[in-house]
Amino acid sequence: MKKKLKTSVIGSYPISIDTGELINDYFSDKLSSWTEYIEQAVHDMTTAGIDYVSDGQTRDPFIQLFTRKLKGCRIRNRTEIIGHVEYQDQITVEDQKFARQMLPRDTGLVGIITGPYTLTKSSVDLFYHDTKELCFDFATALRGEALLLQKYVDLISIDEPFFSNELPEYAKELIGTITNGLSCPTRLHVCGDVSRIIPQLVEMPVEILSHEFKASPQLLEFFKEYSCLRKICVGAVQSDDVRVESIEEIVTHIKKAIAIFGENVVQIAPDCGQRLLPREIAFRKLQNLTLAGEIING
């Protein structure tokens, strides 16, 4: 029977990078390789039984992962914008292709894109001095990545945590710049307290909305007040707490979400990327998420 509810990850997964090996490669004239870290992340996610896995975003934090390769950006203590932001070459596509060939047949792949507003707000703008213009140049550049990515992934997820702090009036247009006309489904992940911006979120040009419902369960009540036609990815285990939620606790939480969103609940996931958790804890959370999903799916 086809599973109704799929398990997913949001993005990052905690893998320690062996800097000793990287420097030894340098001293012995070998090219640095990241494949073993992607392998470890994908292995954990698939072993835990996750339906939609990511490449683990092991190369960099989610901001630098993108700004490192976009023209017009340079990385100091923070990313600095020093010229027109433009797409030059693939950013995550090669890693996704590598992750894809490791996956069991029924496992899907999520391509993650850090959103333009979050990139803008995380950067020091030394060039544009115009937030909106920078945002849209980021969005246009990220669309370049999305167009490539859609050929290799089953879902593109846009990660926009800064929307919960401040939602620009052009947010919908901004996200649409990336998603319009893409051939694969899209998801918008906004963690934090989104209670004030739900009316705008439910209008976003994506198929799935993903929020931090486990750390902020009150969000479920706020969503109740709005008609939400979007599909929902329910944050069901916390990403900022090392306590591993029991299967029963996760099941109860998912049932509450289903009571509000009904069949629109299509995915369950951690509240956010798991980078800051110890690896063993992150893995056990994913395992319990999978087991809870199986109970819900019957």
Q: Is 32 in the site for other proteins (CB under 8 A)?
A: yes
Q: Which amino acid is at 180?
A: N
Shortest Å distance, C-beta 61 to other proteins: 6
Q: Is 279 in the site for other proteins (CB under 8 A)?
A: no
Residues 146-205 that bind other proteins (CB under 8 A): none
Picking from 46, 37, 48, 47, the residue whose alpha carbon sits closest to that of residue 14 is 37
Residues 56, 92: contact at Cβ < 8 Å? Answer: no
Q: Is 75 in the site for other proteins (CB under 8 A)?
A: yes
Q: Which stretch binds other proteins (CB under 8 A): 70-78, 95-103, 194-202, 249-257?
A: 70-78
Single residue of 1, 2, 19, 227 touching other proteins by CB under 8 A = 19
Single residue of 60, 193, 240, 249 touching other proteins by CB under 8 A = 60
Q: Is 94 in the site for other proteins (CB under 8 A)?
A: no
Q: Is 61 in the site for other proteins (CB under 8 A)?
A: yes
Q: Is 276 in the site for other proteins (CB under 8 A)?
A: no
105, two tokens? 């047949």
Cβ-based nearer residue to other proteins, 30 or 255 = 30
Q: How many CB atoms lie within 10 A of CB 72?
A: 20
Q: Is 26 in the site for other proteins (CB under 8 A)?
A: yes
Picking from 56, 73, 57, the residue whose alpha carbon sits closest to that of residue 65 is 57
Sign of the C-alpha dihedral computed for residues 150, 91, 139 and 107 taken in this order: positive
Picking from 222, 251, 218, 254, the residue whose alpha carbon sits closest to that of residue 235 is 254
Q: Is 68 in the site for other proteins (CB under 8 A)?
A: yes
Residue 106 CB-density burial (10 A; 0-12 exposed, 13-18 middle, 19+ buried): exposed
Cβ-based nearer residue to other proteins, 19 or 101 = 19
Q: How many CB atoms lie within 10 A of CB 109?
A: 21
Binding interface with other proteins (CB under 8 A): 17, 19-20, 22-27, 29, 31-32, 59-61, 64, 68, 74-77
